[in-house]
Each structure stands twice: as structure tokens, then as C-alpha cells.
């Protein structure tokens, strides 16, 4: 039975930010339609509790793009209209290739949504765990066969969670991708509520 806490609750704190070791396509890419956010990590060494990382996405309406999320998508919750969803989930990093995969069909999102923020949260169970405690974490963001960004979280090793992508509608209604990994401290619940306040212009 999955007893992970649901990522919703009060706001948490920022842990810092860093570029990490990765790459992005000019840091900004316009006209995004459908995106795959994929996360991988290695299983914990024998005798240690499993590491469990979760991809989380929050949607924000045009009237309040940096306020509370309209809804949050995570390991046990799809978006109401089915446009954002996990199609792969792992609790221990023992899968082949990428362990968690989230799909975002931005072209199908209702016009009232102006911003989507994607993050990665580390479940905190028996002990506090940061990205520095996770074996070989890696991130890939792509649209079709085009790789938009990769990262290894080395810029946020002391964080327990991080925002990893931001998608914002421009004046024409097209979605822009803004790359960057920004670290936070706190549990998954507080992160999910606070992640939208990051990267305010």
C-alpha cells in the first residue's frame, strides 16, 4: 500500500538554486505542445531505505499565476481534464531507464491556465534526504525527439525538492518553456504548495 503523503499543504522555504550539470536549448523554447518530463535515479545501497523521488506539476490561472495552484498532479492524482499525468511511477529507482515519467499535453490545457510549474520532490520517510543523498539522479525534458533540457541536480545537492521546468503562455497563447533547476527545503506537501511562487519575474 502506498503511504506517501499527498503533496498539498502550506508553503515551504527556498533552499537555493544552481545550474547543475546539464543542458538546455537556449534556456527558452517557444511553441511547446506536448512535453515529457522523465526522472531517473539508482536504487539505494543494500541495507539503506529506498529513495523515492516524485515528479509534481502545478497549474496556475491567468488571474493569479504566482498564487495557489489550481490543481496539483502527482503520483496518485491526474489533472481533471487528463492533460497532465504520470505514465510511469517508481518508489525505489529499480526500473529500467527512466523511473518516473510525466506527460504534459499543454496544447489541450484550457485557456484559463497561463502557467505550469514542474518539480521533483524527495519523499521524507525514516530520515531527511537531499539530492546529495540520492544515487545518480538525472532529469530529461523533451518534446517529441527534441531534447529541451537535462540535469543531474548537482547544483541543488542540499535541497529536498526542486522546480525543474516552467511553462508560460505568451501573448499569442503559445507555450514557452523556461529551463532551470531551483532547489527548495521542506517536505513534499509544503513544496507542492510553494513551488508556484518560484521564479517570479
pLDDT digits (tens, 9 = 90+) for 55-89: 999 999 999 999 899 999 987 777 888 999 987 55
Q: Are strands 84-88 and 71-73 parallel, antiparallel or unpaired?
A: unpaired
Residue 143 in any domain: the answer is: yes
Please state, as a whole number, how many other Cβ atoms lie within 10 Å of the Cβ of residue 49: 12
Nearest CA-CA partner of 166 in 99, 80, 106, 110: 106
Residue 6 in any domain: the answer is: no
- Helix (H/G/I), strand (E/B), else coil: 115: strand
Q: What is the CATH number of the domain that holds 117?
A: 2.60.60.30
Q: What is the pLDDT of residue 3?
A: 40
Residue 15 in any domain: the answer is: no
N-to-C CA span, the chain: 41
Residue pLDDT, tens place only, 8-26: 333 344 444 444 565 555 4
**Count of domains in the chain?**
1
Residue 17 in any domain: the answer is: no
- The residues of the chain scoring below 70 in pLDDT are 1-29, 46, 88-97, 198-201
What range defines the domain where residue 178 resides?
Answer: 28-197
Residue 192 in any domain: the answer is: yes
Distances (CA, A) of 99 to 14, 94, 126, 132: 26, 7, 21, 18
Q: What is the pLDDT of residue 86?
A: 87
CA distance 184 to 162: 5
DSSP assignment of 1-49: ---PPPS-SS--EEEEE---SEEESTTEEEEE-EEEEEEE-PPPPTTSP
Residue 41 in any domain: the answer is: yes
Please state, as a whole number, how many other Cβ atoms lie within 10 Å of the Cβ of residue 67: 11
Size (the chain), residues: 201
Q: What is the pLDDT of residue 10?
A: 34
Residue 105 in any domain: the answer is: yes
Residue 169 in any domain: the answer is: yes
- Helix (H/G/I), strand (E/B), else coil: 155: helix
Q: What is the pLDDT of residue 97?
A: 65
The answer to whether residues 72 and 54 touch, using CB atoms and an 8 Å cutoff, is no
Amino acid at each position: 500500500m502506498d503511504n506517501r503523503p499527498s503533496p498539498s499543504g502550506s508553503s515551504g522555504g527556498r533552499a537555493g538554486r544552481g545550474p547543475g550539470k546539464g543542458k538546455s536549448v537556449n534556456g527558452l523554447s517557444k511553441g511547446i505542445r506536448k512535453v515529457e518530463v522523465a526522472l531517473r535515479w539508482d536504487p539505494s545501497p543494500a541495507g539503506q531505505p529506498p529513495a523515492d523521488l516524485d515528479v509534481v506539476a502545478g497549474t496556475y490561472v491567468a488571474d493569479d499565476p504566482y498564487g495557489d495552484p489550481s490543481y496539483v498532479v502527482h503520483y496518485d492524482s491526474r489533472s481533471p481534464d487528463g492533460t497532465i499525468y504520470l505514465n510511469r511511477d517508481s518508489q525505489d529507482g529499480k526500473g529500467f531507464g527512466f523511473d518516473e515519467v510525466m506527460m504534459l499535453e499543454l496544447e489541450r490545457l484550457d485557456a484559463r491556465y497561463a502557467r505550469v510549474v514542474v518539480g521533483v520532490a524527495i519523499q521524507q520517510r525514516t530520515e531527511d534526504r537531499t539530492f546529495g543523498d540520492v544515487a545518480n539522479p538525472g532529469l530529461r525534458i523533451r518534446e517529441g525527439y527534441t531534447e529541451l533540457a537535462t540535469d543531474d541536480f548537482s547544483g541543488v545537492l542540499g535541497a529536498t525538492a526542486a522546480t525543474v521546468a516552467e511553462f508560460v503562455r505568451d501573448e499569442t497563447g503559445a507555450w514557452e518553456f523556461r529551463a532551470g533547476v531551483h532547489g527548495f527545503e521542506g517536505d513534499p506537501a509544503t513544496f507542492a504548495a510553494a513551488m508556484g511562487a518560484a521564479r517570479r519575474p
